[in-house]
Amino acid sequence: VEMFVVVDNQRFQMWGSNVSETVQRVMDITVLANSFTRGINTEVVLAGMEIWTEEDLIEVPADLQVTLRNFNSWRQEKLSHRVKYDVAHMIVGHHPEGDVGQAFLNGACSSGLAAAVEAFHHEDVLLSAALMAHELGHNLGIRHDHSACVCEDKHLCLMHENITKEGGFSNCSSDYFYQFLREHKGTCLFNKPRPQ
């Protein structure tokens, strides 16, 4: 999965308004998110990054559903013609109202829905990576786990509605993902990423 990441101005400031530090943090989180997605035989590759160092280029309210819609509109208008990617995720720094992440279900490879937003309002890198992998899971057609879902003897799996950094993708997650692939929704995932 080729992922493009946008970092909002508040998260940039929380990382010391330091571009090098921000790039390193995003790379670390992406590498850790990749360790989660290997459980469904999928590799995450950072296709590119944009850091809003001066100001946010969209309105970023506390309601992440609104932020997701705003980001998705910006992505379609300003990003898609510049960079090739399978999905774009936005990292915001504020503490949201409600959920800490929002994503379009089945959005990967879709020109209209290939987006997600995650609120990293803390400094727990592993939890941030789990959140990124969780929202990417939704982009890949994976719904929240239910009581019959299991993952390697863990009580909570990655796609439980309460984000956990302890478990990986469940048997249910694998089923949802393979259904996504069988329905030919993930065709962009099979190309080999090229350096840009």
138 annotated binding-site participant: yes
Q: How many residues does the chain have?
A: 196
121 annotated binding-site participant: no
Q: Which of 59, 118, 123, 135 is catalytic?
A: 135
**CB of 169 within 8 A of CB of 159?**
yes
To the query of whether residue 135 is one of the catalytic residues in this protein, the response is yes
What span, in angstroms and rounded, lies between the C-alpha atoms of 33 and 158?
11
What span, in angstroms and rounded, lies between the C-alpha atoms of 39 and 147?
20
184 annotated binding-site participant: no
Q: What angle do CA 196, 129, 132 make, to 5 degrees?
A: 70
Residue with tokens 């992998």: 133
**CB of 118 within 8 A of CB of 139?**
no
**CB of 184 within 8 A of CB of 108?**
no
Q: Which residues are annotated as a binding site for Zn(2+)?
A: 134, 138, 144
Q: Which residues are catalytic?
A: 135
Q: Which residues are annotated as a binding site?
A: 134, 138, 144
